[in-house]
Homo-oligomer: A and B are copies of this chain.
Amino acid sequence: MQLLHTVADLRAALKGESETAFVPTMGNLHTGHIALVQQARRQGRPVVASLFVNPLQFGAGEDFERYPRTLVADCAQLEPAGCDLVFAPDVREMYPEPQTFTVIPPLADELCGAHRPGHFAGVATVVLKLFNMVQPRYAVFGKKDYQQLFLLKGLVRQFNLPITVLEGETVRAEDGLALSSRNGFLSPEERAEAPRLYRLLKQICARLGAGETDFAALEAVAAQELAHHGWEVDYVSIRSRRTLLAPAAGERDWVALAAARLGRTRLIDNLEAGAASVCE
């Protein structure tokens, strides 16, 4: 497995490759990321993973500074998973000049975007840059970051990138908590409380499956339950999987999404519901 830090070295290593499978990450990898790498390996070669904590997608007061940088441990996980090349640029390599060109995605003020101004513009901009550096045939993103995945599929489509986006299923701990690099910030008490987020999404999903149609009530009950147990809720929202907006009348391809803070740590999760979903 190669470890490269510059765009020039990366381009030289990938010259002539046409079936590259790419997994962009911010590092501090867990089993969820490794599953994405394994999924990439089933699609194309070489498998490239990037490790870059992107300052552009962190807002003021967010956890950019404390976000863990764990290069050696990340590489130790990537190699046995079948990764061929790790690209780990520093901020200066990614942004040698101030990034004055930005990609503005749709829905940038919805859901997580409403609580993280500029976040999705930062994500779209860095991913477009990484795509142009790696020029992959396939790119894999996890469904845990549902809005991000939705946006990046749109980015590829609307900017006509010759890339197939693959969706990785969310990997969960035994108690249901979605794996996340930020779980490491949780105290033991917070970690014990954290799976409630998923349990409430499952409840919403079950109620929708049983024919409940009052979305606002379902959202409010879940948000109140979280608040009651000490969470600071950003949103609990039932959306259309097709548009990520409020479901249209008759639409049954739903996704329930939630974001809430336990102490200083912001957790997100989601669950598809309705038609063609397994609801668990």
User: Which of B132, B154, B155, B162 makes the CB contact (< 8 A) with A161?
Assistant: B132
**Smallest beta-carbon distance A23→chain B, Å:** 18
> 8 Å CB contacts to B: which residues of A12-32?
none
Cβ–Cβ contact B103 & A103, under 8 A: yes
User: Which of B11, B99, B158 makes the CB contact (< 8 A) with A97?
Assistant: B158
Residues of B within 8 A of A132 (CB): 159-162
Q: 1/0 per position for A78-119, CB-CB distance to B under 8 A?
A: 000000000000000000010111111110000000000000
Instruction: Say how many copies of this protein the assembly contains.
Output: 2
User: Which of B7, B102, B158, B162 makes the CB contact (< 8 A) with A99?
Assistant: B158
Chain B: which residue is nearest A101 at the CB level? B158
Cβ–Cβ contact A102 & B101, under 8 A: no
Cβ–Cβ contact A97 & B157, under 8 A: yes
Interface size, chain A (Cβ < 8 Å): 25
Residues of B within 8 A of A155 (CB): 101
Cβ–Cβ contact A101 & B159, under 8 A: yes
Q: Is A182 an interface residue (CB 8 A)?
A: no
Residues of B within 8 A of A149 (CB): none
Cβ–Cβ contact B160 & A129, under 8 A: yes
Name A's B-contacting residues (CB within 8 A). 7, 11, 97, 99-106, 124, 128-129, 132-133, 135, 154-155, 157-162
Contacts A/B (CB < 8 Å), 20 sampled: A97-B157, A97-B158, A99-B158, A100-B105, A100-B158, A101-B103, A101-B105, A101-B106, A101-B124, A101-B158, A102-B103, A102-B104, A103-B103, A104-B104, A128-B159, A129-B160, A132-B159, A132-B160, A132-B161, A132-B162
